[in-house]
């Protein structure tokens, strides 16, 4: 049983390989009447493109030279809405979006036709499907996230109608941690870091790693906020809890190796007294609020109304040009040096993917919550 | 849309509240012909009972006094199979298992009838369902895991037929970390720790916390191994990857705040060269093997054949008798001291629940993998 | 992948075999706050019991002798709610209901241990599961419908809150068709026929068939109405249309061999002009209404607001005591005469099952419709 | 919760409206290694095109004049595979297929912008989604079946690998029934009837109806056969039985108003002795076989190995140019004459759609059956 469908009421199915004709997504369950255009989707797709996120203050895109964290691959990634939108609004029918691949030089990938790249999905994919789509990873390529990001753009629109925003950023990369948080800084620097000074150091380290033929990882943080607070009670006990659904969504992204909510692994070392978030009535809103947020906005798997906060671990890029030990599909030991265009650190490009998946979970759980009430 | 069903091909639906008539589970999709008795299920249920895991070398159960980590509640938790088993084997029809509640003194919980306990699901549940089942948490009680553990026992049987075992243990608790690993030690000490010396220190700290009216958390580790290695290729890209499904399964357990696979958050600080696991052919098996396991046995969301390894963060028990600030359901600030029988640290009792959820994910993905082949 | 779950938002999972410990159902997704007691469920369960539907005008149950259409088996079929209801209302958590089997004389069925009964599921079940649960059909027994009827009683409660009623009746049985329709007659006669005179003839024919060791079939009609009309737009294009969901629900009942909506197979012989239902505005309600109902209340797979109307074909009972040609599980030709207690015509007992499945479909599609709106 | 996904293990999601950019389907769960090309899909798509099924003996397509049953709309309906196929074989990743709309003259449909066409989905769609996609029916147009037929072509390929074929034909149309069965005749005549003489009479009646501005219905039969018999045990009790799944699949097609399996509604009038299919061992195959097939190849919801046989009722085309009473979206009574290009009788074009849906059900249940075995 394949697993290319995500969500239940706001449900997406993605398709496409890195070197096939096109990638895309169908979104089923988006309510009718939501304003939607290709522009809104394109904007998010542009954020996940290599070297695309960093703009100078005058709005011009920075050159590849200044953005060494990204791959050198040039992709327009122009989206087309095939269905589900009429006169600028969703119609309640499935929304299909595609992005054509325009840069499919399979030749680049010839030398990995038989060798399994360490840290890659090559070996288990070959064992599972009996087929080697050696053209750059096929379905396990990072380009698979195009469908996620396109769908996430629609989910973000849905959330915007309820005053909900999802923001992710790099809080740590290539061994360097951010020390300050400036939301305005995130989309300004190449690392999508929340600390401009740290971002500069990260870029320097990225350049070193690139020169070495090596790579690095990092940590991405994500926060969901509401203009008037978030809805209370999102999440469906006992299995489809808010944190469970988010964990699945985020871990389904390639290169993610861990997730923690609120205080996360630190909570494991606290006492109950330290970790429990006390509550008081908020005079302004007339609603209860939490004096701290170790819970990350989630109790018993349900949203509490406080900001939803989590962090995800990103492993270093597997494709490195340093020599590594591996085996080939004929069962021989060999060495491999992975050539070609590759990111050094995925953090800045995973940021919009994490936002997309988070938005999809929220949209789905909002619809599910409403369907659970008389 | 409610969320009490887990899994797709090996699919369970749990039901029951802490103070209702009974708790239980239906398991749909367990293949016919699997040997199954109530004994196998009871054995796992006994492991999750308070104070039940620790036995003296002569087989007698230790007294409550020696097991301060658990609650003082006495529960027989005897299971009954209602369907799906005939002449000692599964029949391919749904297996229903129930456990009756025998100790439903609602009176114990009277003083939390209106106050929301900090760190508990009380507040969001009330907002979501408009109903306060104040009898000890209702569906958000830890007793909800009875259905999971019963179903997990069936999944373990299924896995045993393929030589696969799932083992979890406490690797850190109440601020104390294990320093050695001894598999034989785990079921011998009250903390289910893999290090007997650390276990003793943990218990001392538990006694102190109990005296203070406070509580603690910890970290649980889990490993899945196969007698002849694990199957390669378990997991269904791109959303139902092995790590994504495990993350959802584990985060759906109450009190879990994070999960990491293999090197996890540490991988975020490594370079690609450090983190990639090199491969070599194994002369003995004729199959590739990995020289390290930073990946935790998972690449591209698929099992690699190496042991599957993850760690989960357990928050400190929310119910503490120290005074805390909170609000009540009428919107008044107030203080609360949560009385009654409560665990100090959940780690030892969550160990079998983590094993159960892991076994359920594996059983489901094995069936799904087989269904994906011609 | 097993199939014991039905519905998506109002979702049930049934379990239990004819001679196991108990049968039952879990209902997940019933909104919180719905009044519910065991009495409401028991009332529906009593309707599906053999010989239970016919009562004298003084309220006493008629003797078995006067009710030859039913089997002679005595079953109390008392239900117990295990979870999901607190202080007389649903809580939003799964509702589990069980009915214990009290009359499990396996001995009665010894002679069918190896022979496949013609018209029964014996042969394909044996081939599928490799197990012969010869104790009266196991999961393929009519007793399986207990879970459906219990869940249907909850769905009926849900629909009642919206003024919607579901009524089914025998419109034809053992070769005799009803010629008049009197709603008040249905629950008064043993056949649940809508025509008392026809009902008497049916019973006479039933007695003859019983004496012959033979059996008969019939046709059941069903109508869904609303106090203020039905909601317009129930059904989810393009696959989960209202008629598609009802067709699946009804065909999933044992012994049903066909279904038709509105004019059904007769529509195949009409012209468009004859079959199209003209529309006019209704002065009283200010809403459109249909001047005829050949569509059976469904257009494009969506409810139109008119009554939903369908008919289902019930095959004759397979268990007959006349000699039949068959084979046994060792691959030998043989003859069989099926002894024991069996219905002659299932129509009266299937009526409540059809109502139950219809109510479940409606409850689910109402929740789904609401979840599809902004 | 929307309903554009069908199937569980062999799962499709269709999208597209009659006058949008494109229609299509994603197929998830098709095993890797299946030979597949656009040609195989195009061949089936061509069968559902208007006027496309009838070819002269020399292979040239007949003129529109000779094929009055079809609409005059010209559509190339060329398909493109976007993903999931590599070097002529499926890869186990989702297969996406699209067909661009090339003939979107919305102008043709201007006069139905506000009036609800009797017998059409216009009114309930407007009530459900609050949007009127007046361009020829939008998602409720017959063009929606393009996705089904494309996916069905893949399912047929899957079944062909197991020697299973699905064949449907018109057995009755515009009031005229076939009296003989000649399989070779079906694809030769414009009505896809199994009786060439009846087909001629049907066409004469079609021409008359067209002249009147009226339309007609019919009955389509379908048979599933296996080169070495069909697998025994397909279908998943108790809800996803083979007949239940087929009933849903077929009733989900626009214009279908009923379905019956084997003897169907006639079985309702038989006795058990007449209806039960006796069994004998087959010397040639060593397997049991049935001496008759009143069951239509299905017992207890499982395939018996005999041919699966069912019949579906097709209502007359709703779009007729005769004047009809209706209302408009402002709530006024009015008259309507539906102009434009419309079929007179849908039977020949629904034949490939019924085959497609049947093939999808079979492919799904074969995978499900295999996943249910140890």
pLDDT score of A201: 98
- Cβ–Cβ gap C86/B20 under 8 Å: yes
List all residues 6 or more positions away from D144 whose beta carbon is below 8 Å from its beta carbon.
C238, D14, D16, D17, D18, D23, D254
Q: How far is CA A272 from CA A198, B338, C24, in A?
A: 34, 12, 41
pLDDT 10s digits, C140-169: 999 999 999 999 999 999 999 999 999 999
Binding site residue list of C for NADP(+): 48
D 44-83 near A (Cβ less than 8 A): 80-83
- Cβ contact D320–C276 (<8 Å): yes
Tell me if D372 is assigned to a ligand binding site: no
Cβ of C123 within 8 Å of Cβ of D232? The answer is yes
CB within 8 Å of chain B, chain C residues 76-95: 80-84, 86, 89, 91-95
Q: How confident is the model at residue A76 (pLDDT cuts 50, 70, 90)?
A: confident
> A7 contacts in D (CB within 8 Å)?
none
Question: B125 and A331: CB-CB below 8 Å?
Answer: no
What mean pLDDT comes out for the span B260-289? 97
The subunits that touch chain A, with at least 3 C-beta pairs less than 8 Å apart, are B, C, D
Query: Strand D11-15's sheet: what is its strand order?
Result: D5-6, D11-15, D22-28, D95-100, D79-83
Which of A49-58, C27-36, D186-195 is least confident?
A49-58
CB within 8 Å: C374 and A93: no
| Nearest-by-Cβ selection for C15 from B1, B5, B96 | B96
Handedness of CA C236, C241, C242, C246 (dihedral sign): negative
pLDDT band of residue A131 (cuts 50, 70, 90) is: confident
Tell me which residues of chain D have a pLDDT lower than 50.
Answer: 52-66
SS (H, E, C) chain D: CCECEECCCCEEEEECCCCCCEEEEEEECCCCCCECCHHHHHHHHHHHCCCCCCECCCCCECCHHHCCCCCCCCCCCCEEEEECEECCEECCCCEEEEEECCCCCHHHHHHHCCECCCCCCHHHHHHHHCCCCCCCCHHHCHHHHHHHHHHHHHHHHHHHCCCEEEEEEEEEECCEECCCCCHHHHHHCCCCECCHHHHHHHHHHHHHHHHHCCCECEEEEEEEEEECECCCCCCECECECHHHHHHHHHHCCCCEEEEEECCHHHHHHCEHHHHCCCEEECCCCCCEEECCCCCCCEECCEECCCCEEEEEEECCCCCCCCCEEEEECCCCEEEECCCCCCCCCCHHHHHHHHHHHHHHHHHHHHHHHHHCCC
Provide mean pLDDT across the span A206-226.
97
Distance from CA of B297 to the nearest CA of C (A): 27
CB contact under 8 A, D250 and C247: yes
Residue-level pLDDT at A64: 42
Chain B residues with CB under 8 Å of C4 CB are: 26, 28, 93-94
For residue B86, give the chain C residue with the closest CA: C133
C residues 336-365 closer than 8 Å to D (CB): none
Q: Judge whether residue B201 has pLDDT over 50.
A: yes
- pLDDT > 50? residue B11: yes
Which residue does chain C place closest to A371, by CA atoms? C371
Q: Which two tokens stand for residue D42?
A: 């195009």
**Residue A341 — very low, low, confident or very high, per pLDDT cuts 50/70/90?**
confident
Look at B237 and D368 and tell me if their CB atoms are within 8 Å. Answer: no
Residues 6+ apart with CB under 8 A from C366: C158, C159, C162, C231, C234
Mean pLDDT for the stretch of residues A50-74: 49
Per-residue confidence (pLDDT) for residue C105, from 0 to 100: 57
pLDDT at residue A57 tops 60: no
Mutation choice for A interface testing from B140, B300, B365 by most A CBs within 10 A = B300
- CA-CA-CA-CA dihedral for D337, D340, D344, D345, to nearest 10: -110
Residue of C nearest to A34 (CA): C374
Answer whether residue C132 shows pLDDT above 90. no
Residue of D nearest to A364 (CA): D1
User: Which one is the CATH code of C5-371: 3.30.365.10, 3.30.530.20, 3.20.20.150, 3.60.150.10?
Assistant: 3.60.150.10
Other CB atoms within 10 Å distance of the CB of residue A66: 12
Query: Cβ of A13 and D13 within 8 Å?
Result: yes
Residue in D1, D28, D98 nearest the CB of A82: D98
pLDDT tens digits, A251-300 = 999 999 999 999 999 999 999 999 999 999 999 999 999 999 999 999 99
**Which segments of A are annotated as binding site for FMN?**
139-141, 300, 315-319, 341
Contacts with B, D 259-298, CB within 8 Å: none
Q: What is the pLDDT of residues B217-235, one digit of tens each?
A: 999 999 999 999 999 999 9
Buried b (16+ CB within 10 A) or exposed e, D144-161: bbbbbbbbbbbbbbbbbe
Query: How does pLDDT run across B328-352, given as a tens digit for each residue?
Result: 999 999 999 988 778 999 999 999 9
Span A22-39, average pLDDT: 97
Q: Average pLDDT of chain A?
A: 91
Scanning every residue of chain B, which has its alpha carbon at the shortest distance from the alpha carbon of C93?
Answer: B139
Residues of D in contact with C258 (CB under 8 A): 258-261, 264-265, 267-268
pLDDT band for A112, please (50, 70, 90 cuts): confident
Residues of A (110-129) whose Cβ lies below 8 Å from B: 116, 118-121, 123-125, 127-129
Q: Under DSSP, is residue C100 helix (H, G, I), strand (E, B) or coil? A: strand
Smallest CA–CA distance, residue B367 to chain D, in Å, is 6
- Under the banding of pLDDT at 50, 70 and 90, the label for residue A19 is confident
Summarize pLDDT for C8-23 with one digit per residue, the tens. 999 999 999 998 999 9
Residue B245 at interface with chain C, using a CB cutoff of 8 Å: no
pLDDT at site D371: 86
Q: Which residues of A touch B261 (CB under 8 A)?
A: 251, 257-258
Cβ under 8 Å to A: B residues 168-227: 172, 175, 209, 214-219
ipTM of the complex: 0.95
State residue A339's pLDDT score: 83
Q: Which two tokens stand for residue A162?
A: 């309820």
Which among D360, D316, D325, D352 has a CA at the least distance from the CA of D14? D360
| Stronger pLDDT, D112 or B191, i.e. the higher one | B191
Shortest CB distance from B20 goes to which of C13, C29, C82? C82
Asked if A244 and A308 count as a contact pair (C-beta separation under 8 A), the reply is no
| Per-residue model confidence (pLDDT) at position B120 | 95
**What would the two tokens of residue C153 be?**
């009683």
Q: Does B136 touch chain A (CB under 8 A)?
A: no
* Section B192-220 average pLDDT: 97
Give CATH for domain A5-262+297-371. 3.60.150.10
CA distance B22 to chain C (A): 5
Query: Which site among A212, A238, A331, A336 would you substitute to test the B interface, given the most B Cβ atoms closer than 10 Å to its Cβ?
Result: A238
């Amino acid at each position: 049983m394949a697993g290319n469908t995500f969500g239940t009421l706001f449900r997406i199915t993605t398709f496409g390989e890195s070197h096939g004709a096109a990638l895309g997504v169908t979104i089923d369950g988006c309510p009718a009447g939501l304003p939607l255009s290709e522009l809104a989707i394109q904007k998010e797709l542009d954020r996940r493109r290599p070297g695309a996120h960093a703009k100078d203050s005058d709005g011009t895109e920075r050159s590849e030279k200044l953005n060494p964290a990204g791959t050198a691959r040039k992709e327009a990634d122009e989206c087309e809405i095939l269905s589900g939108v009429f006169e600028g609004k969703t119609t309640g029918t499935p929304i299909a979006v595609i992005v054509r691949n325009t840069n499919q030089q399979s030749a680049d990938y010839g030398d990995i036709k038989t060798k399994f790249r360490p840290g890659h999905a090559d070996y288990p994919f070959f064992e599972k499907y009996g087929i080697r789509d050696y053209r750059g990873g096929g379905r396990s390529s990072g380009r698979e996230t195009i469908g996620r990001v396109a769908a996430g753009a629609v989910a973000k629109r849905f959330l915007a109608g309820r005053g909900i925003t999802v923001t992710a950023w790099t809080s740590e990369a290539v061994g360097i941690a951010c020390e300050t948080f400036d939301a305005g800084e995130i989309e300004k620097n190449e690392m999508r870091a929340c600390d401009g000074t740290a971002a500069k150091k990260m870029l320097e380290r990225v350049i070193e790693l690139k020169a070495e033929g090596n790579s690095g990882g990092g940590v991405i943080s994500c926060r969901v906020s509401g203009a008037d607070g978030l809805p209370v009670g999102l999440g469906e006990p006992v299995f489809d809890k808010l944190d469970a659904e988010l964990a699945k969504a985020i871990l389904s992204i390639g290169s993610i190796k861990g997730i923690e909510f609120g205080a996360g692994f630190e909570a494991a070392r606290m006492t109950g007294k330290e970790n429990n978030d006390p509550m008081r009535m908020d005079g302004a809103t007339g609603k209860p609020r939490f004096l701290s947020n170790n819970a990350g906005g989630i109790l018993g798997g349900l949203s509490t109304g406080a900001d939803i906060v989590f962090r995800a671990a990103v492993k270093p890029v597997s494709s490195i040009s340093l020599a590594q030990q591996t085996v080939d599909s004929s069962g021989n030991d060999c060495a491999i040096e992975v050539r070609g265009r590759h990111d050094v650190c995925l953090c800045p490009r995973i940021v919009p993917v994490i936002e997309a998946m988070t938005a999809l979970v929220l949209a789905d759980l909002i619809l599910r919550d409403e369907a659970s009430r008389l």
